[in-house]
Amino acid sequence: MSATTMGTAASRAAVHKTSLHRQRLWALWGSYIALAVFVVIFLVPPFYTLITSLKSSAEISAQTGSPWLVKNPTFENFWYLLTYPNFQTYYINSVIVTILTVTVSMVISVLAAFSLSRMGFWGSHVLSTGVFLTYLIPPSLLFIPLFQIVGSIGLINSVWSLVLLYPTLAVPFCTWIMIGYFSSIPRELDEAALIDGASYLQILTKIFIPVAMPGIIAATIFAFTVAWGAFLYPLAYLYTSNQMVLTVGIISDLIRGDVFQWGKIMAACLLASLPPIVIYAFLMDYYVAGLTAGATKG
Amino acid sequence: MEGWDGMADGSAAAIGMAAPLSGEKSPATSMRRLARRKSTIAFVMCLPLILLIVGFVIYPAFYALWLSMLNKKMTTFVGLGNFAFLLKRHTFQLVIFQSCLFAVTAVVLKAFIGIILAHLMHNIPGTNQKIWRGLLLVPWVIPLALSTLTWWWMFDPSYSAFNWILNQFGFENVPWLGVGGIARACTIAVNVWFGTPFFMIMYLAALKSVPEQLYEAAAIDGAGAMQKLFFVTLPMMRNIIAITVLFSLIVTFAEFDIVRILTAGGPQDMTHVFATYAFQVGIQSGDIPLGAGVSLFMFPILAVSAFFVLRGVTQRTKDIAA
């Protein structure tokens, strides 16, 4: 009697378990299939960029056959760009502007975040809030008065105007996430260092920066993304090709009137997207962690 | 480094001189001096940030206000004349309508698709999840100005890649960017393509932070998948959803790159948003005051969104601290 009840109970549990298992499996495979569909849709533009960049100008202007396939793959577009002086200038300008912006932004935001999260002064809470609010200001709100300001200090059509202005876009968010990371470091650590006679700068360089390295990487990537991809400021403030950066250079240089050299444009896009893609491929986890920490940790 | 220490010492000494010479060093005053020195160093460390914000955010904001009240040649003060002129203009009324349409539609779609993607992603175990997440983040990694060029090429009137597919299925060519309504839909589609990954990773992080016990408790109470979604997941994620949506609303409302590259506001100003219209009026046509005025129209909605984002974030910080 008891044996039979135990038997049915066990079999019922087994049935329940397998049905649950099957349900999970279905959910898993369903998710994979749905995600695959989304991935295909989302990757159409990058794929098409690659396909077009491998086509010769003749093949594009012939306009026959499927645009989604390439008949005679060629690297002539890439070769043209790599030996094209203007494109080299844009690339070098982008690299210089980005490196300077990232360096300046990180120095400013690490110092400020350390001060705001650990030391504090009269009004530092207001400043923290202000930093967050500044992060919410989009570049398109103030680009016209900044145009006048840039003009009045003689930096119109100079790549240095970008070095001056890009930090305003990067610093607020970098400071914000660095405050989050610094605040999560236990206070005992810096108290112990203070007792041992360390100065604040030593605490920052010897304890905080090493411990908050993931945050610093995330903030650096953010500053890099902003400086590399910004479009409005360079479009508004630069107009000769020796001063342009990649985002505006490609558009203004390879599109002349109604002549679109699409093969070259797409190859240029690919070359210009390469640094961000490489960086994200290796450091994606840091960036995602930093970004989500900004909102989930507060 | 030494220079820094020297500067800090110098400022501390300056403060010490300003204070009356107290003779004996009682522990209380030395503590106070230490605290004051600390806050001085703290202020000095923040100084670059303060200068940056004051010089390139606060000053330009007030300067924009002043600019927007001048005439085109910037010689006479016209008060609110520019704003009145803009509001009466049909093109500008279109711009207001289109900016709102663009932002609201795009954000709703991004939030919706983002939440679906996050849930799908959440079902997938650890290591695979990273690969899939990486693939879906690609649109967001490529600089927007560059990927929009590809979209433009795919919408090309003479050799559109999309039209080719439509032709294969026997449909007519669609003038993607040539007709107002379709062009609007195209700009929104590109924005959704670009912005959805951001929502996905925000929601995915939020999903991971929902404690597993809640789902177990719900399962014991007999809740189905839908009930778990509506009574456990969504309430737990409410704050993150709100913050992300409002934040995206700000960014999308101020969008420039996509509209500028795809349509430059055309056809017949049917796709202009605030940023592109401000650019056209202020930089291209050289009417700086009017352009500044157009930009400033964004301010009220940005300020309201910013207020609620800030409230959400502080609320959430308190929740986590509690």
| A269 to chain B: closest CA residue | B146
Compare CB distances from A63 to B64, B138, B159 and report the shortest one's residue: B159
Do B47 and B126 belong to one domain? no
Listed in sequence order, the residues at least 6 apart from B316 whose beta carbon sits closer than 8 Å to its beta carbon are A295, A296, A298, B239, B240, B243
Q: In whole angstroms, how far apart are CA B177 and each of A251, B166, B173?
A: 18, 16, 12
Token pair for B73: 């040649």
Residue B166 lies in a domain: yes
Q: Rounded to a whole number, what is the distance in Å from the CA of A217 to chain B's nearest CA? A: 16
Which helix (H) or strand (E) element contains residue A37?
Answer: helix A2-42
**Among candidate residues B67, B102, B117, the one where a domain is terminated:** B67
- Say yes or no for a CB contact (<8 Å) between B147 and A269: yes
Token pair for B88: 């009466």
Listed in sequence order, the residues at least 6 apart from A230 whose beta carbon sits closer than 8 Å to its beta carbon are A139, A162, A166, A169, A247
The pTM of the full predicted model, rounded to 2 decimals, is 0.85
Do B95 and B121 belong to one domain? yes
Q: Minimal CA–CA distance to B250: which of B298, B293, B294, B204? A: B298
- Whether chain B has a CB inside 8 Å of the CB on A194: the answer is no
In the predicted model, is pLDDT for residue A74 greater than 50?
Answer: yes
Q: Are A77 and A263 in contact (CB under 8 A)?
A: yes
Whole-number average pLDDT of chain A: 86
In the predicted model, is pLDDT for residue A83 greater than 80?
Answer: yes
Per-residue pLDDT of chain B (322 residues; tens, 9 = 90+): 333 333 333 333 333 333 444 444 566 677 777 777 788 888 888 999 999 999 999 999 999 999 999 888 888 888 888 889 899 999 999 999 999 999 999 999 999 999 999 989 988 887 888 888 889 999 999 999 999 999 999 998 777 888 888 888 988 888 888 888 899 999 999 999 999 999 998 898 888 888 888 888 988 888 888 888 888 888 888 888 888 888 898 899 999 999 999 988 878 888 999 999 999 999 999 899 999 999 998 888 888 888 887 787 777 767 666 5
In the predicted model, is pLDDT for residue A96 greater than 80?
Answer: yes
**Among candidate residues B67, B100, B115, the one where a domain is terminated:** B67
CATH number of the A84-296 domain: 1.10.3720.10
| pLDDT the model gives residue B13 | 36
Residue B51 lies in a domain: yes
Do B122 and B43 belong to one domain? no
pLDDT digits (tens, 9 = 90+) for A204-259: 888 899 988 989 999 999 999 999 999 999 999 998 888 999 999 998 887 766 66
Half-sphere exposure for B39 (CA within 13 Å, toward CB):
12
| pLDDT the model gives residue B5 | 36
Residue B261 lies in a domain: yes
| pLDDT the model gives residue B93 | 92
**Most A-contacting residue of B113, B150, B262 (CB-CB within 10 A), to test interface:** B150
In the predicted model, is pLDDT for residue A174 greater than 50?
Answer: yes
Compare CB distances from A121 to B39, B149, B291 and report the shortest one's residue: B39
Q: A with B: how many residue pairs have Cβ under 8 Å apart?
A: 294
SS3 of B29-61: the string is HHHHHHHHHHHHHHHHHHHHHHHHHHHHHHHHH
Residue B110 lies in a domain: yes
Taking the CA atoms of chain A, what radius of gyration do you get in angstroms?
27
Do B246 and B203 belong to one domain? yes
Partnered with residue A260 across adjacent β-strands are A255
| pLDDT the model gives residue B26 | 61
Residue B182 lies in a domain: yes
Could you tell me the pLDDT band of residue A8, with boundaries at 50, 70 and 90? low
Q: How many Cβ atoms sit within 10 Å of the Cβ of residue B212?
A: 7
Question: Is the Cα dihedral A79, A83, A87, A92 positive or negative?
Answer: positive
| pLDDT the model gives residue B15 | 37
Q: Rounded to a whole number, what is the distance in Å from the CA of B23 to chain A's nearest CA? A: 25
Do B149 and B229 belong to one domain? yes
Each domain of chain A, given as residue ranges in start order, spans 2-42, 84-296
Report which residue type is found at B197: P
Q: Are A175 and A113 in contact (CB under 8 A)?
A: yes
Compare CB distances from A284 to B116, B134, B295 and report the shortest one's residue: B134
Number of domains in chain B: 2
Separation between Cα atoms, residue B270 and residue B291, nearest integer Å: 18
Interval A119-131 mean pLDDT: 85
Q: Are B136 and B198 in contact (CB under 8 A)?
A: no
- Say yes or no for a CB contact (<8 Å) between B153 and A137: no
Domain, as residue range, for B213: 81-321
Do B50 and B167 belong to one domain? no
Q: Are A136 and B247 in contact (CB under 8 A)?
A: yes
The interface predicted TM-score of the complex, written ipTM, equals 0.86
Write out residues 118-147 of B within 8 Å (CB-CB) of A: 120-121, 123-124, 130, 132-139, 141-147
**Most A-contacting residue of B50, B53, B200 (CB-CB within 10 A), to test interface:** B53
| pLDDT the model gives residue B321 | 62
Residue B139 lies in a domain: yes
- Say yes or no for a CB contact (<8 Å) between A143 and B313: no
Compare CB distances from B164 to A31, A66, A137 and report the shortest one's residue: A66
Report which residue type is found at A144: I
Interval A44-49 mean pLDDT: 94
Backbone angles phi, psi at B77, to 5 degrees: -85, 125
Could you tell me the pLDDT band of residue A297, with boundaries at 50, 70 and 90? very low
Do B92 and B63 belong to one domain? no
**Among candidate residues B19, B35, B67, the one where a domain is terminated:** B67
Do B189 and B278 belong to one domain? yes
**Most B-contacting residue of A69, A140, A224 (CB-CB within 10 A), to test interface:** A140
| pLDDT the model gives residue A245 | 93
Q: In whole angstroms, how far apart are CA B294 and each of A230, B188, B279, B290?
A: 21, 21, 9, 6
3-state secondary structure of A255: strand
3-state secondary structure of B142: coil
| pLDDT the model gives residue A296 | 46
Q: What CATH code is carried by the domain that includes residue B223?
A: 1.10.3720.10
Residue B73 lies in a domain: no
Interval A98-120 mean pLDDT: 93
